[in-house]
Amino acid sequence: MKSQHKKALILGTGGASKAVAYSLGELGIDYKYVSRKQSEGVGFTYSNLSEAIISEHQVIVNCTPLGTFPDVDQCADIPYNGITNEHILFDLIYNPDQTKFLKHGKDRGATTINGLNMLKLQAEKSWSIWDL
């Protein structure tokens, strides 16, 4: 993270998004949830996202299953043209290693990170919790 990374969009509102929200809060990063439907706690719906909103939120975390193998041609429907080389796109998905979401970000010069390291860290934590 760099100094410009002060606002984030969390794509999806399931269980994983809550862990991401907690971590962003611990880092002092303001975040908004993005969901298909407007409800309490949802900052934006996919249909009301704009390039300006994307530009303003320079951390975008995909917590949806969109793009997971075998449905690798799917991705969140966001205005990718708002992404710049100042953005970080993080996808919790690790298979495939580069999702369509991450490809869109990489094409626009963003830093992209997949979920493989997160999976490894979860496995290591499990070993320590269960003392195996």
pLDDT tens for each residue of 6-20: 999 999 999 999 999
Burial 99-116 (b: 16+ CB within 10 A, else e): bbbbbbbeebebbbbbbe
Q: Is residue 123 pLDDT above 90, yes or no?
A: no
pLDDT of 127 reads 86
| DSSP letter (8 states) at residue 8 | E
Total Cβ atoms within 10 A of residue 59: 24
Residue (of 55, 69, 63, 7) closest to 35 by Cα position: 63
User: What does the domain layout of the chain look like in residue ranges?
Assistant: 7-130
Residue 76's contacts (CB-CB under 8 Å, 6 or more residues apart) are 11, 34, 46, 62, 64, 66, 101
Total Cβ atoms within 10 A of residue 13: 19
If you average pLDDT over every residue of the chain, what do you get? 94
Q: Are 92 and 113 in contact (CB under 8 A)?
A: no
Residue 90's contacts (CB-CB under 8 Å, 6 or more residues apart) are 59, 60, 61, 62, 112, 113, 114, 115
Instruction: For the domain made up of 7-130, give the CATH fold.
Output: Rossmann fold (3.40.50)
Q: What percentage of residues in the chain have a pLDDT greater than 90?
A: 84
